[in-house]
Amino acid sequence: MKAFIINKYKSKDGGRIGQIPVPVPQQDEVLIEVHATAINLLDSKIRNGEFKLILPYKTPFVLGHDVAGVVTKVGPGVRQFKVGDEVYSRPADHRIGTFAEFITIKEADVALKPKKLSMEEAASIPLVGLTAWQALIERGNLKKGQKVFIQAGSGGVGTFAIQLAKHLGATVATTTSLANTELVKSLGADVVIDYKKYDFEKVLHGYDLVLNSQDGKTLEKSLRVLKPGGKLISISGPPDTDFANEIGAPWFVKLIVRLLSFGVRKKAKRLNVGFSFLFMKANGTQLKEITALINAGTIIPVIDKVFPFEEIKEAITYVESGRAKGKVVVKVK
């Protein structure tokens, strides 16, 4: 089968399309024929070795964290799915590889595709949907009437998180460029700040929750828009000690992580606010909840471009440019 293979971290060619064997599903796995996948900044960071310390992949490996497709085989222990089911998923860490014609995924990480979505639309959802769900609901415990600041509202996570936060009854503030103001307003943003013109720290005060996806300077400023007892959840780092313990990191990695997050943890404590790092996890049950919201019309996918599989490197480059509105999808079949 065709696959986008990374032979070496930080390689000059940036990966290549080559041939590898079709995987065989094990006891609790389904084999999915990939119809579409999506590009995430995480793919670029893994390719460049930025997560090698905490998420090492032995080369060669296949990139890709989002998939929509059709089940073609099931393992003997699979009970939830059958051949012919249209499904979508974010495979678990160390089991990625959706930039290919087929992939095996544990059935616990898979959900039936939303009926009203095309394969391309469905492929845009899993990683950003689960990230928003785990940040706002699981970790942030966002409630009706609370105020949440979602950075980069026109990005992949932002476009989903705004819609989810509005569904939960929160007041939503976000940052974006002037060109994308109408887009984020149409998704439900109440307060929209043109980041090129205004400093959000001077506009926002007394927020319950911040979803941070930007750099360290933005993170520091975001801590100051929270009210006492508020929470900042960062999906862009720095990783914290809880995360290191969660992944069972060796002692030296825990020490490095403690040092990396020391400054922000100290500032958060001084301001009497919470800080935590979120590295989202695969979760088929949560994907089913997201499917219900999509089928009800509560959340709609936002897609910028669809690339053919042969142009997957160009798709990654486009995502790295930071210009995409919503998600960038790759049509595989």
Contact status, residue 154 vs residue 181, Cβ threshold 8 Å: no
**Percentage, residues of the chain above pLDDT 90:** 94
Contact status, residue 122 vs residue 299, Cβ threshold 8 Å: no
Please state whether beta strands 327-331 and 29-39 pair in parallel, antiparallel, or not at all (unpaired).
Answer: antiparallel
Structure tokens at 220: 């520091």
If 0-12 CB within 10 Å is exposed, 13-18 middle and 19+ buried, where does residue 131 land?
buried
Other residues' Cβ atoms within 10 Å of the Cβ of residue 201: 15
CA dist 170 and 113 (Å) reads: 27
Please state whether beta strands 327-331 and 303-308 pair in parallel, antiparallel, or not at all (unpaired).
Answer: parallel
Strands (E), 223-290: 226-234, 274-277
CA dist 71 and 74 (Å) reads: 7
If 0-12 CB within 10 Å is exposed, 13-18 middle and 19+ buried, where does residue 108 land?
middle
Structure tokens at 285: 């049950």
The closest alpha carbon to 112, from 152, 81, 141, belongs to: 81
Average pLDDT, the chain: 96
pLDDT digits (tens, 9 = 90+) for 167-183: 999 999 999 999 999 99
pLDDT digits (tens, 9 = 90+) for 275-307: 999 999 999 999 999 999 999 999 999 999 999
List residues bridging with 276 in a β-sheet. Answer: 233
CA dist 4 and 297 (Å) reads: 34
- Give 25's pLDDT tier (boundaries 50, 70, 90): very high
**Residue ranges of domains in the chain, CATH in brackets:** 2-125+301-331 (3.90.180.10), 128-277 (3.40.50.720)
Please state whether beta strands 191-194 and 29-39 pair in parallel, antiparallel, or not at all (unpaired).
Answer: unpaired
Question: Which of helix, strand or coil describes residue 217?
Answer: helix
Contact status, residue 65 vs residue 90, Cβ threshold 8 Å: yes
11 pLDDT more than 90: no
* Helices 216-223 & 251-270 angle (0-180, nearest 10): 40
Instruction: Please spell the DSSP secondary structure of 271-327, one letter per residue.
Output: TT-EEEE------HHHHHHHHHHHHTTS----EEEEEEGGGHHHHHHHHHTT--SSE
Rg (CA), the chain: 19
143 pLDDT more than 90: yes
- Give 5's pLDDT tier (boundaries 50, 70, 90): very high
247 pLDDT more than 90: no
pLDDT digits (tens, 9 = 90+) for 31-68: 999 999 999 999 999 999 998 888 899 999 999 999 99
Q: Is 191 left (phi over 0), alpha (psi -120 to 50) or beta?
A: beta
pTM above 0.95, yes or no: yes
